[in-house]
Amino acid sequence: MPYTSDFGYMDFDFGVETLEKLVMKSERKMHIDLGVPKENTADERRVAIAPSGVRILSEQGHKVCVERNAGEHCNFTNDEYADAGAEILDSVEDLYKRSNVIVKVAAPLPFEYDLLQRGQVIISALHLGSVKVDYVQTVLQRSVTGLAYEFIETRDGELPIVRSMSEIAGALAVQTAAKYLETGNGGRGILLGGVAGVPPAIVVIIGAGTVGHYAAQAALGLGAQVIVIDKELNRLRRFETIFNRRITTAIANEHYISKAAKVADVMIGALNPRSKPMKPVVSEETVMTMQKGSVIIDVSIDQGGCFETSSRTTHSNPTFTKYGVTHYCVPNMPSVVARTASYALTNALIPFIVKIGEYASISDALWKSTSLRNGTYAYKGYLTKKVLADLSGLTFREVQMLLATDM
């Protein structure tokens, strides 16, 4: 019978494991010393593990160290973490030295590279649109095992950690668009849902994935007219069924995109390129035809961007105007609701941390868990994702082959 945890994730296969290996299965389990550092990326207010997650890990016999004030932007106090079983550390250097697994929201910044310990495991987002080659080289030089939120995929093709943040980003995209449509923010002065006798705003969503789903749901809830564009016909059929044909759908091609752009009050880039950098699908010429005071929300910016005119912004300076169109291109959108986002991230991440602790070593965990193996981008000094090798020009090896040499 396949293993299933209390959290609902299942692995139905044993990867490249042989029958002989199954018979010789060890009962020894890896003890996790988890480190939760404070996030240093600009405007990143989330924390990777909430106190509720610390309690789960502590009750299972694992040790958790949390950097002092790591959860302050989420209104998680040091006392809450301590009461849940964490040890609060003042020194981030000490935290890294005492931890065999590090969990972060964003990838480490350059000044954090030297904190990584040889043989350590780090779990974080990568944001493929802005991967630093120096970081990749440091991970390889120190034989760090790297797992990325963007790559952790279950047997049914679900990206549970990405999905949890995408749900929030989709809802926030509409909330943010409504704000920047206001006259005082340089918008067209339009109420998203309209009023009796005055038509609602037109919201065009490019991408019928999780972000698109939650954006469409939020926009419809406010009374907007919604158009969803995607290249996959089956996805559009699913959306029409889910929303009971209250949305308009169109295939993603230049003709329909340019036609929709001319009437849109809001365009939301909600494409998910499935763990690879993307190329813009909306040209600069198309953006030039949009109405003055309309709004672009590019949720895809962390993977390269959906609009040719997009350029990364921050929560401190979230927008810029080009061709009279307000562009909002913040890569870590869920950070504005840091507490909700941290709880959601904890709920999605904890099952995978627990899973690591159920095996004798990280090698054993990767060997036997499809989802963890899928999530690995660095192991034993090699990159294990071709997309990163292509971006960095470094050597690539299949993780299955590296694991096989360990057995």
312-332: per-residue pLDDT in tens? 999 999 999 999 999 999 989
Confirm whether 5 is domain-assigned: no
Residue 7 has pLDDT above 50, yes or no: no
**Does one domain contain both 325 and 343?**
no
**Does one domain contain both 213 and 239?**
yes
* Angle value at C-alpha 162, between 156 and 164, nearest 5 degrees: 95
pLDDT of res. 157 = 86
125-157: per-residue pLDDT in tens? 988 777 889 999 999 999 999 999 999 998 888
Residue 27 has pLDDT above 80, yes or no: no
**Does one domain contain both 196 and 293?**
yes
Rounded CA gap, 133 and 7, in Å?
35
Host domain of residue 212: 169-331
Closest-CA residue to 368 (of 403, 331, 319):
403
Backbone dihedral angles phi then psi of residue 389, each to the nearest 5 degrees: -65, -40
**Does one domain contain both 196 and 138?**
no
pLDDT of res. 277 = 66
**Does one domain contain both 187 and 327?**
yes
Position 4 confidence tier, pLDDT thresholds 50, 70, 90: very low
30-60: per-residue pLDDT in tens? 899 999 999 999 899 999 999 999 999 999 9
Confirm whether 155 is domain-assigned: no
**Does one domain contain both 321 and 378?**
no
**Does one domain contain both 258 and 179?**
yes
Confirm whether 65 is domain-assigned: yes
Confirm whether 7 is domain-assigned: no
Question: How far, in Å, are 150, 271, 282 from residue 253 at the CA level?
Answer: 26, 14, 9
| Active-site choice (73, 127, 213, 327) | 127
- Top-confidence residue, 38 or 16: 38
Residue 20 has pLDDT above 70, yes or no: no
**Does one domain contain both 286 and 304?**
yes
Confirm whether 154 is domain-assigned: no
Confirm whether 388 is domain-assigned: yes
Angle, nearest 10°, between helix axes 160-180 and 338-356?
170
Beta strands 382-383 and 376-379, pairing class:
antiparallel
**Does one domain contain both 231 and 111?**
no
- 331, 356, 377 - which closes a domain: 331
CATH number for the domain harbouring residue 118: 3.40.50.720
Residue 90 has pLDDT above 90, yes or no: yes
| Cβ pair 387, 393 in contact under 8 A | no
Residue 382 has pLDDT above 50, yes or no: yes
Residue showing tokens 């789960």: 56
- 267, 299, 331 - which closes a domain: 331
Asked if 73 is an active-site residue, the reply is: no
Position 22 confidence tier, pLDDT thresholds 50, 70, 90: very low
Asked if 327 is an active-site residue, the reply is: no
- Top-confidence residue, 321 or 11: 321
174-230: per-residue pLDDT in tens? 999 999 999 999 999 999 999 999 999 999 999 999 999 999 999 999 999 999 999
3-class SS of residue 316: coil
Position 81 confidence tier, pLDDT thresholds 50, 70, 90: very high
Residue 9 has pLDDT above 70, yes or no: no
| Active-site choice (265, 302, 327, 364) | 302
Return the amino acid letter for 178.
A
**Does one domain contain both 345 and 326?**
no
pLDDT of res. 274 = 64
**Does one domain contain both 130 and 47?**
yes
- 303, 331, 359 - which closes a domain: 331
Share of the chain above pLDDT 70, in %: 92
Residue 300 has pLDDT above 60, yes or no: yes
Confirm whether 8 is domain-assigned: no
Confirm whether 246 is domain-assigned: yes
Task: Please give the tally of structural domains in the chain.
Answer: 2
Diameter of the chain measured on Cα atoms: 73
Return the amino acid letter for 3.
Y
Q: What is the mean pLDDT of the chain?
A: 90
Whole-model pTM?
A: 0.87
**Does one domain contain both 137 and 253?**
no
